[in-house]
Amino acid sequence: PVLGAGNASCTEACASIGRQCTVATLAALNPLVDTVEELGFLMSSLGANCTTYVSEWGTGTDVPNIQPDGTCYVSDTDRDSSTYDCDRVPDSGGVLSGKRRVCCCNETLPEPPETCENPVLGAGNASCTEACASIGMECTVATLAALTPLVDTEDALALLMSTLGANCTSYNSGFGTATDVPNINLDGTCYVSDSDRTEQTYDCDRVPDSGGVLSGKRRVCCCNETLPEPVQSCDHPVLGAGNASCTEACASIGRQCTVATLAALNPLVDTVEELGALIVSLGANCTTYVSEWGTGTDVPNIQPDGTCYVSDTDRDSSTYDCDRV
């Protein structure tokens, strides 16, 4: 979560810290701002203080926010996705008054690759979904589109086929937008892709056939590394008891710890300032900070003497461990 500057949209607030706002991130924020108590608590952790509360505009597209005089606007609990707007500038009756929006941001995702980094030749009668899964990867429309420049001429397709351990004996360019093209028949006939294809002509799940009959055709596919499910914000940060694992800490409040929830926590604990604010909101205080063990499977944590261990920003999923004491 981040408190935007006066009159700033959440798009601008998130961009200021190198992240992005989406409808999903704003929806994930809502459980932290839909009561007076929770909004006040979050505001204090962000360095602001609510003096009064207004709940009647709970579905306003710039809510939650805080006025310069400390008036805080509380969000409704049940909100439709249409009531979230990252680009909305907070105002008072159309007049800019210095309101500051409370926002939630995701890490900015990299652009999809423009070239195919993981081409694969599927088994006979296998879809690209199956071919990619067989090597622990996934097929998407974007990966199939990235493959096309490598298979849209006879020479290019022949070269790729040879690197994949197959040989084209003849070529057919008459079905270049078919959803199972490019592919190779058992007799070595290779089906060449068109250069200009719309996304509707790509289908990861299509099983290659010949006039509806399975004939052992093998699709040429392109695969991405399997990405984890996008994580939402951490809705329920908790400070565990001494010597307790996160599994135990979450169980103590009737919840559970997962690698995804620890990853969702990380944006709140990967700087001295953020960790300090969160620790204060959890009823403790950091006296000193240590950043050199940022990928330790028990980090972030706080010692009895107030020493706080800060998390690294870029962490692999293998560095999160709910059971670590």
pLDDT tens digits, 56-92:
999 999 999 999 999 999 999 999 988 999 999 998 7
What are phi and psi for residue 250, nearest 5 degrees?
-70, -40
Using an 8 Å Cβ cutoff, are 141 and 204 in contact?
Answer: yes
**E strand intervals along 110-248:** 119-121, 137-138, 170-172, 183-184, 189-191, 218-222, 224-225
Tell me what pLDDT residue 110 has: 44
Tell me what pLDDT residue 229 has: 47
C-alpha dihedral sign at 276, 279, 281, 284: negative
Residue among 65, 107, 60, 41 nearest 283 (CA): 41
Residue 70 backbone zone (phi > 0: left; psi -120 to 50: alpha; other: beta): left
Instruction: Tell the residue number behind the tokens 């006939």, with chain if given.
Output: 189
The residues, any chain, with a CB within 8 Å of residue 93's CB and separated by 6 or more, are none
The mean pLDDT value for 128-135 works out to: 91
pLDDT band at 233 (very low <50, low <70, confident <90, very high): low
Mean pLDDT score of the chain: 90
Measured CA to CA, the distance from residue 106 to residue 258 in angstroms comes to 18
pLDDT band at 113 (very low <50, low <70, confident <90, very high): low
Tell me: pLDDT of 119 over 60: yes
Encode burial over 282-306: b for 16+ CB neighbours within 10 A, e otherwise: eeeebeeebeeebebbebbbbeeee
Tell me: pLDDT of 246 over 90: yes
- Partners of residue 219 on adjacent β-strands: 183
Tell me what pLDDT residue 261 has: 85
Using an 8 Å Cβ cutoff, are 19 and 26 in contact?
Answer: no
pTM of the predicted structure, to 2 decimals:
0.41
The mean pLDDT value for 114-137 works out to: 90
Written as one letter, the residue type at 9 is S
pLDDT band at 124 (very low <50, low <70, confident <90, very high): very high
Encode burial over 88-113: b for 16+ CB neighbours within 10 A, e otherwise: bbbeeeeeeeebbbbbbbbbeeeeee
Count Cβ atoms below 10 Å from residue 126 Cβ, excluding itself. 19
The mean pLDDT value for 159-178 works out to: 95
Residue 181 corresponds to which tokens in the numbers above? 């093209």
Residue among 322, 231, 319, 321 nearest 268 (CA): 231
